Amino acid sequence: MKFSEMPYKRVDFEQLKRDFKELEDAFDAAKSGEEQFHVHERYYELTGHVITQMTLAEIRHDIDTTDEFYEEEQAFYDKNAPVFQSLCVEYQKKLYASRFRPYLEEKIGPVAFKNIELAMKSVDPKILPLMQEENKIQTEYNKLLATAQIPWEGEVLNLSLMNPYLHNKDRNVRERAWKAYTAFFEKNQDQLDDIYDRLVRCRTKQGQEMGYENYLPLGYARMMRNCYGRSDIAEFRKQVKRDFVPFVEKLHERRRERLGLDHLLYIDEGVYFREGNPAPIGTPAQILEAGRKMYNELSPETAEFMNFMCDNELFDVLGRKTKKTGGYMTYLPDYKAPFIFANFNGTSGDADVITHECGHAFQGYLVKDDPIREHADITMETAETHSMSMEFFTEPWMNLLFGARARDYVDMHFEDSIMFIPYGTMVDEFQDIVYSDPGLSPKERNGVWRDLERQYKPHLDYTGNEYYEQGGFWQKQHHIYDCPLYYIDYCIAQTDALQYKVWMDKDYRGAWNSYLKLCRLSASDFFNGLIKEVGLNNPFEDGCLAYVAKELEKKV
C-alpha cells in the first residue's frame, strides 16, 4: 500500500487496556507452551497495529510540524506512549515468568528474554508521569529547532537548509553562515539550557524512582545493552583516545594541506576540498532514481527492496521549512514496510540518506517475514552496523550520484567516517559525566564539553566564536536531548563498518556475504555473538581500534 493511502485512526487506549487484559487472561489460561505461543502471536498482531498507527502520526507530524491535526495526535502519543510501553512490559512479565518458559525460550530465543528483563528494569507504572513529562520536553526541543528562522542573504532558512552554506567552498561564505547559524543558538541558549536542565532532572528522577543512583543504569536498560555495560564502553573510549585520535589528527592535517590553509578553524570542519565538497547531481527525484538503479545492480535482494520502497512512496526526503530537521528510518509493521524520512539540502548528506538510511530499511525489509517479532528488536549498535556498512558497500555506484566527482565523494566519506569516531565517543563521555553528576550548572556542563573537545579533537579552534569557545556546540546535537546514551552505538558500528571497508577492498563478495548474513541474523543472537559469527573483531576487545587504524593508514 502506498504511504499516502495508509489509513490513520487514533489508538483507543481504553480499548487497548481491555485487549491486553484479555490477552493476559488467555495467556494465564493456556495449558501448554504451544498454546501460550499462539497467544503471543496475538500480542504481535495487537502491538504491531498500535505501533503502525503511532508511527503514521509521528511521520505525518514530522513532515509538517505546523499541521494542527497531527500536532494534536503527537501530543496525545507523548502522553499515552508510556502507557502502551507499560502495558507491553506487564504482559512481558508473564512471558518471562511462564511455567512453560523453556518451550518459549526455544521458540523465541534467549535474547528476547534478556531484553524483557531489561524492559522490566526500565518501565514501571510509577514513573509514567515522568516519562510523559520527558516526551513533552523533547517535543518542545524539537519544535524549537524545527521552527528556527535564520535570516540569510535575503532569505529565511531553517537549520537543515543552512547546511550547504556551512560547508561552502568559499571560506567567507562559511564564516558568515556559521555566524548566522550560531546566532540562533545564542539567542535561544537560555531556553536550550532550561530544556536540558529539565530533561536531566526528569531522567535522573526516573532512575532514582526505579532504585538506581542516577539515570545511567536506567538509560543502559532502555538502550537494551544486553551483553555489555558501562565499563566496556569506558574501555572503548580509552582505545579511541589512545589508538585512534592520533591517526585522525593526521587526517585533519592532510585535510588542511588539501584546502591550502595555514591553520584550520571550526568553520573548516566538514570541508574536504578546495573546490568544495562533492554534491549529488540532479533533483531529489533523480537522486532517488539513481539510488534505485544502484540497488537494482548491487544484488537481487537490494533490487527487490528498493523497488518496493519507491513503488509505495516510502520516502519523504524533500527539505521544507516546517519539516522536522534530521533524518531516520522507521517501520510500519501492519504493512511490513520501512519508511525513510530525511531533509535533502543539496549536499552529500542527500546521498548518505540513500546509503545509510537504506541500510537500516534494507535489513528491516530482508527479515520482514520472520515470524518471531522479537528478532526485530535489534540493539542499536547492530542496527547502525547495517546502515554504516551499506555506505561502504555502495561505493562502486557513486558515479550515479556524483558523476565526475565520485572519487572525491568516496575519499571524503572515507575520511569523514574515520573522523566521526572521536566526536561520537566524546558525545557519549559528555553524557556519562552529565548523568553521573546531574547537579552540574549550564556553565559547568559547557566546561565539561570544551574540555572533552580538547582531548578528542585537539586541532579544533573556535577563534571568533565565543559561544562555541565557551562550550556551547553540544546544544545542536539532537541525540543529546532526544536519544540519551545512543550516540556511542554509532561509534561501535562505525568500527564494524570500517572493518567491512578493509575486508571489501580485499574481497568484496566475501564481505557482502558476511553482511547479508549479519542482516538475516537480525537479533537472534547478542551483539558479541553476531560479530563473531560473521567474522568481525569485537570493538570492545583491546586492540580492535589499533588494528583498524593500522589497516586504514595503509589506504591514506
Mean pLDDT per 10-residue run, the chain (556 residues)?
Answer: 97 98 98 98 98 98 95 94 92 96 95 93 91 94 92 92 92 97 97 98 98 97 96 97 97 97 97 94 90 97 97 91 87 97 86 93 96 93 97 97 96 96 98 98 98 98 97 95 96 98 96 98 96 97 96 89
Q: What is d(CA 171, CA 76) in angstroms, rounded to the nearest whole number?
A: 46
Contacts of residue 507, defined as CB under 8 A and 6 or more positions apart, other chains included, come to none
pLDDT given at position 284: 87
The reply to whether 184 falls in a domain is: no
Number of domains in the chain: 1
pLDDT given at position 184: 97
The reply to whether 165 falls in a domain is: no
pLDDT given at position 324: 87
* Beta pairing class for 337-344 and 315-318: parallel
pLDDT given at position 344: 87
The reply to whether 305 falls in a domain is: no
pLDDT given at position 348: 85
pLDDT given at position 318: 85
The reply to whether 156 falls in a domain is: no
CB 473 within 8 A of CB 445: no
Range of the domain at 104: 3-121
pLDDT given at position 430: 98
Grid coordinates representing 173 are 561564505
The reply to whether 220 falls in a domain is: no
Angle, CA 35 vertex, CA 33 and CA 40 arms, to 5°: 90
CB 421 within 8 A of CB 544: no
The reply to whether 8 falls in a domain is: yes
The reply to whether 75 falls in a domain is: yes
Angle, CA 554 vertex, CA 550 and CA 556 arms, to 5°: 110
The reply to whether 218 falls in a domain is: no
